[in-house]
Chains A and B, each alone.
Chain A
Amino acid sequence: GAVVSQHPSRVICKSGTSVKIECRSLDFQATTMFWYRQFPKQSLMLMATSNEGSKATYEQGVEKDKFLINHASLTLSTLTVTSAHPEDSSFYICSARFEGGGNTIYFGEGSWLTVV
Chain B
Amino acid sequence: TQLLEQSPQFLSIQEGENLTVYCNSSSVFSSLQWYRQEPGEGPVLLVTVVTGGEVKKLKRLTFQFGDARKDSSLHITAAQTGDTGLYLCRADKLIFGTGTRLQVFP
Contact = CB atoms under 8 A, between A and B. Distances in A.
Interface in B1-22: 1
Given A43-B97, A46-B94, A105 B33 contact: yes
Contacts, number: 46
Q: Main SS of chain A's interface residues?
A: strand
B99 A43 contact: yes
Given A43-B88, A44-B96, A108 B42 contact: yes
Size class of the contact patch on chain B: 20 to 34
Interface of B: 1, 33, 35, 40-45, 48, 86, 88, 90, 94-99, 101
Interface of A: 4, 6, 34, 36, 41-46, 49, 60, 91, 93, 95, 102, 104-110, 112
18 contacts: A6-B42, A34-B94, A36-B96, A43-B97, A43-B99, A44-B88, A46-B96, A91-B40, A93-B42, A104-B33, A105-B33, A105-B45, A106-B45, A107-B35, A108-B42, A109-B42, A110-B40, A110-B42
